[in-house]
Amino acid sequence: FIAAVMKQKEIDHHASHSNLINQWLHLISSSMFIYCYAIMYNDYESAMYIGLLSLIIRQSGHYIFEPPCHEKEQAMLGFDTENKVKICVTYGVIPALIMAQIALTTDVQVSLAQAWLVVTFSVVFGRVALLWYRYGFVVSMHWYVKFVTDPFTDIPAYYKSGYQIFSPTLLQGALHASFPNYISEPAGYVKPSSGYDKTKAE
């Protein structure tokens, strides 16, 4: 079971986490998510606000900096980049709906954090239900365990990006991968490896 979960993490990495800037944003995002896990029980509203900011940081890495990877993402059990953007838009629409409700009536019993929490559970367990229907319970649990543990495995996988991002050569190389028509590849550039690449090489 654990081997299957780690295999999904490796597939996810090679499909849509090859860019150094994206890895660095995931390092930041995962650190924030771990903090959210720690405070969720005692302060779920703060956890939801911080978690949403973390989600935006995380998905901006995919949407802006990661090279097109739609075909590679088809091997994943999780959401592809297009669907992740739609989820972020949904989170953005919720405040507008609540404000509209306030404008129509002051009797609003649901807070923004509560609405976001409902959406989060709906998205996550909706995905679990879909995978269960398509592939069976065990495979759906592969994705669920992968999803909830991603912040913890992202740290050892992408910790190098925390200092590699400050290398002008590596940063320019990452920007070239994202915007090849506008930024040239620096001389002597060698793409840095991540924790998953190291594991594969061994």
Cα separation, 45 vs 50, in Å, equals 9
pTM for the model stands at 0.81
The closest of 102, 19, 32, 25 to 59, measured between CA atoms, is 25
Residue with tokens 């879909």: 130
What the block records as the tokens of 47 is 């956890």
Measured at the CA of 62, the angle between CA 56 and CA 68, to 5 degrees, comes to 155
What the block records as the tokens of 160 is 């190098």
Measured at the CA of 136, the angle between CA 131 and CA 134, to 5 degrees, comes to 45
| 88 neighbors 59 (Cβ within 8 angstroms) | yes
110 CB-near residues (< 8 Å, 6+ apart): 98
pLDDT tens readout for residues 25-63: 999 999 999 999 999 999 999 999 999 899 889 888 888
What the block records as the tokens of 110 is 């649901």
pLDDT tens readout for residues 103-157: 556 565 767 788 778 888 888 888 888 888 888 999 889 989 998 999 999 999 9
One-letter amino acid identity for 148? V
Cα separation, 198 vs 196, in Å, equals 5
pLDDT tens readout for residues 162-189: 999 999 999 999 999 989 999 999 988 8
Average pLDDT along the chain? 82
Residue with tokens 């991540």: 194
The answer to whether the Cα torsion of 154, 159, 162, 167 is positive or negative is: negative
